[in-house]
Chains A and B, each alone.
Chain A
């Protein structure tokens, strides 16, 4: 399968613990996005990478959140000192950069976080 891969698919943690999610984008895609989705809502943009550079961060990304893409391939999203309000599905998406590219993003299956 050459789609976007995310793991773990599910994570249950206690409030105050740190969690890390990993995303492996489609190999030839140099753009990578993290979105958060809560129940009944559409995905909300968190942050964006072009290659290894983190070019944008949403206001939703508090200082407890950090994302990296060290080699311009896979990315990690870490949440420190988790809070119950962090419970959500964390979606990773990737897209290519080439002339004529539309805005389509290719999403992974998501990592569902439950904070108890």
Chain B
């Protein structure tokens, strides 16, 4: 079936460097994408989102890029800090086929970001 996947399971960067986390998706019906951060023992925390009619969106130290042509999503973190160490999930959001109003949030398996001091 269609799914969301990630290229790398673990990414190690030096403190202060920029981080790039990649994600591939295959559901052409997806119209909205979200990046979540999950620290150990905690629930996923929203970072940034992007609609399919956009190709770039910036937040505080984070940028999400969407390339619909190749169905690729990336999360860029500027000046990575130790507090950024976590697992990052991309998720694609499509309407439930049963038209219940549910937004079906499908998660990938995650990339672990390790920030070295």
List 27 interface pairs A-B (beta carbons < 8 Å), by A numbering. A31-B101, A31-B102, A40-B109, A42-B91, A42-B107, A42-B109, A43-B89, A43-B107, A44-B107, A45-B106, A48-B102, A56-B96, A56-B102, A91-B43, A91-B44, A93-B43, A97-B101, A102-B51, A103-B34, A103-B105, A104-B34, A104-B46, A106-B46, A107-B44, A107-B45, A108-B43, A109-B42
Bin chain B's interface residue count: 20 to 34
Q: Is A12 an interface residue (CB 8 A)?
A: no
Q: Which of A91-116 contact B (CB under 8 A)?
A: 91, 93, 95, 97, 102-110
Tell me the nearest residue of chain A to B96, going by C-beta.
Answer: A56
* A110 close to B43 (CB less than 8 A): yes
B104 within 8 A of A: yes
- Among residues of A, the one whose C-beta sits closest to the C-beta of B95 is A103
Contacts of A50 in B (CB 8 A): 100-102
Number of A residues near B (Cβ < 8 Å) is: 26
